[in-house]
Structure 1
Amino acid sequence: MPELPEIETIKTGLASHIIDKIIINYEKKCKVLRQILSNNFDILLNARILSIMRRAKYLLINLDNSFTIVIHLGMSGSFTIQPANYSSQKHDHVIFYLDNQQQLVFNDPRRFGMIYLLPQEKLLDQQIFKALGPEPLTEQFNAGYLASKLAKRHKIIKNVIMDNNIVVGVGNIYASESLFRAKIHPLRPAYSLSHMEIIDLVLAIKNVLISSIAAGGTTLKDFINANSKPGYFQQELLIYNRAGKPCFICSNIIRKIILAGRGSYYCGYCQVI
């Protein structure tokens, strides 16, 4: 599933292609993705793109008609810029045609993604955004804040930092990597972390996400950026997807467990429970 670094990479890649461009047409090749697609796509016609932003795992394309296109890529979606001679592919569900002859293509084999057309007025008060926690790369996400969220919380720490109500964008890969770098076992109860461990964890989360963004995200299966290129952070992974291999730090064998239906990786020596 594309997470924060992947969405940030797509946002950056699209910006130079779409800002100040006009949507001259669109094509909806299906009626339903995660939900039924809006019937009011005509409001996009002749709208100029003013900016592109990211909130959590959502892309927000702001238009000059007071509407925003909100895109979620689901499990395996992509949102790419394509040339005028692009031939539509299987699972291309929505295509936006721009006045520079380029096409914005939303492709989603599993149809778990979604495109919303929302008014900009009080956009972030919409239901899909209201419960989201702070962005991890902002000053709002700090040790004091995280400590207040972990106090008296008995859930295991890995599940807590993957909770978008606590902090957005720390997906499965980045949670495993951050906990390893902070030397915290994923099964530790959240309340049991010391203040220094919380400081280390916040720093690890920020550093892992920054490094992944710099590498263009992580491609394990099907993630591609706005220019249809893979990410390269998988080459820097220290723990994720390395079960049965020696730890880079201590040479002990990395283990895999299933938490909340997701594969989780840890070193039993470096991350003592």
Structure 2
Amino acid sequence: MPELPEVEITRRGVAAHLTGQRIAQVAVRHTGLRWPIAANLASVLPQQIIHAVSRRAKYLLMACDHGVLIIHLGMSGSLRVLSEPVAPGKHDHFDLLLANGRLLRFRDPRRFGAILWWPGDDVCQHPLLAGLGPEPLSEQFDGKVLHARTRGRRISIKEALLNQHIVVGIGNIYASEALFHAGISPLTSAGRLGVKRCERLAEAVKVTLLRAIEAGGSSLRDFVDCGGSPGYFQQQYWVYDRTHQACRQCGRPIMKIRQGQRSTFYCANCQR
């Protein structure tokens, strides 16, 4: 599933082509995504200007004249910018044709993504966005914030990092990697972490996410950027998907366990 780095890379890529452009036409080929695409979207969007493309958690937000288009990539979704119309494939469910001739295409083989319309300006009031935690790369997230938000929680710190009400967008891959770099066991109860370890972990989260963005994200199965290029951060993994391989730091075998229906990878020697 695309996580924060992949969504941010997608945002940067499409923003360069979409910002300031007028929507000429909309094509909806399959409405049955995670939530149905609004039936009137093809008539609402044309002639509107895309003023900005931002991100909240794993949601892409396209601010238009009369509302915001919300896009979630789901498990297998991707956005491509095409310089000229190309015949759509089986999994190409949604197109935005711009007045300058360029095309934004949403592809989603598993159809677990979403394309939603929010009329008005305050998109943060949308039910999917209201109540979300702070952005991990923002000034609103640091060790003190992480410490405060995990008080009284008995869940593991790994599960806490995946809780969108505590902090958004980190995802399974980067939670495992950040915990390794912070030297913290994923099994540790979130409520037992002191301020210093929370500060170390918050910094590891930021560094891990920034390195992933710099490397173009992780392409394990489906992810490509808006130009069709894969990411390369998977070549830099220290623990994720390295079960039984030697830890790059101590040489002990990497362990794999299940937490909250997700796979967790860690080094029992380096992470306490």
- Structure 1 residue 191, shift from structure 2 partner: 1.6
- Structure 1 residue 197, shift from structure 2 partner: 0.9
1:35 correspondence with 2:35? yes
Q: Give, in whole Å, the separation in 2 of the partners of 1:261 and 1:139.
A: 31
| Native 8 Å contact 2:85 2:103 kept in 1 | no
Q: Report the number of matched residues.
A: 271
Question: SS at the partner of 1:146?
Answer: helix
**Match of residue 47 from structure 1:** 48
Q: Can you list the C-alpha shifts for 1:135-176, whole angstroms capped at 9, x where unaligned?
A: 001111111111111222111110001100000011000000
**Match of residue 190 from structure 1:** 190
**Match of residue 133 from structure 1:** 133
Structure 1 gap segments, 5+ residues each: none
1:102 correspondence with 2:105? no
**Match of residue 4 from structure 1:** 4
Question: Which aligned pairs between 1:92-171 and structure 2 lie closer than 5 A?
Answer: 92-171=92-171
Q: Give, in whole Å, the separation in 1 of the partners of 2:70 and 2:167.
A: 20
Q: Give, in whole Å, the separation in 2 of the partners of 1:195 and 1:133.
A: 19
Q: Give, in whole Å, the separation in 1 of the partners of 2:89 and 2:9.
A: 22
RMSD across aligned positions (CA): 1.0
**Match of residue 265 from structure 2:** 265
Q: Give, in whole Å, the separation in 2 of the partners of 1:90 and 1:182.
A: 43
Q: Give, in whole Å, the separation in 1 of the partners of 2:94 and 2:237.
A: 33
Structure 1 runs (4+) deviating above 6 angstroms are: none
- Structure 1 residue 18, shift from structure 2 partner: 1.3
TM-score, normalised with respect to structure 1: 0.97
Q: Give, in whole Å, the separation in 1 of the partners of 2:99 and 2:155.
A: 51
**Match of residue 181 from structure 2:** 181
Q: Give, in whole Å, the separation in 1 of the partners of 2:250 and 2:120.
A: 51
Q: Give, in whole Å, the separation in 2 of the partners of 1:77 and 1:35.
A: 14
- Structure 1 residue 97, shift from structure 2 partner: 0.7
Question: SS at the partner of 1:129?
Answer: coil
Q: Give, in whole Å, the separation in 1 of the partners of 2:20 and 2:218.
A: 29
Q: Give, in whole Å, the separation in 2 of the partners of 1:101 and 1:145.
A: 46
- Structure 1 residue 236, shift from structure 2 partner: 1.3
Q: Can you list the C-alpha shifts for 1:5-34, whole angstroms capped at 9, x where unaligned?
A: 101000111122111111111111112111
- Structure 1 residue 84, shift from structure 2 partner: 1.2
**Match of residue 219 from structure 2:** 219
Letter in 1 for 2:194: S
Q: Give, in whole Å, the separation in 2 of the partners of 1:32 and 1:220.
A: 25
- Structure 1 residue 101, shift from structure 2 partner: 1.2
Identity of aligned residues (%): 40
TM-score, normalised with respect to structure 2: 0.97
Q: Give, in whole Å, the separation in 1 of the partners of 2:149 and 2:118.
A: 31
Q: Give, in whole Å, the separation in 2 of the partners of 1:195 and 1:225.
A: 37
**Match of residue 63 from structure 2:** 62
- Structure 1 residue 120, shift from structure 2 partner: 3.1
Question: Which aligned pairs between 1:183-262 and structure 2 lie closer than 5 A?
Answer: 183-262=183-262
Q: Give, in whole Å, the separation in 1 of the partners of 2:66 and 2:48.
A: 9
Q: Give, in whole Å, the separation in 2 of the partners of 1:127 and 1:174.
A: 26
Q: Give, in whole Å, the separation in 1 of the partners of 2:237 and 2:120.
A: 38
Q: Can you list the C-alpha shifts for 1:181-216, whole angstroms capped at 9, x where unaligned?
A: 001110111122122211110000000011111111
Q: Give, in whole Å, the separation in 1 of the partners of 2:197 and 2:24.
A: 52
| Native 8 Å contact 2:67 2:120 kept in 1 | yes
Q: Give, in whole Å, the separation in 2 of the partners of 1:60 and 1:214.
A: 22
Q: Give, in whole Å, the separation in 1 of the partners of 2:265 and 2:235.
A: 16
- Structure 1 residue 83, shift from structure 2 partner: 2.4
Q: Give, in whole Å, the separation in 2 of the partners of 1:203 and 1:242.
A: 23
| Native 8 Å contact 2:78 2:107 kept in 1 | yes
Q: Give, in whole Å, the separation in 2 of the partners of 1:152 and 1:24.
A: 52
- Structure 1 residue 85, shift from structure 2 partner: 3.7
Letter in 2 for 1:125: Q
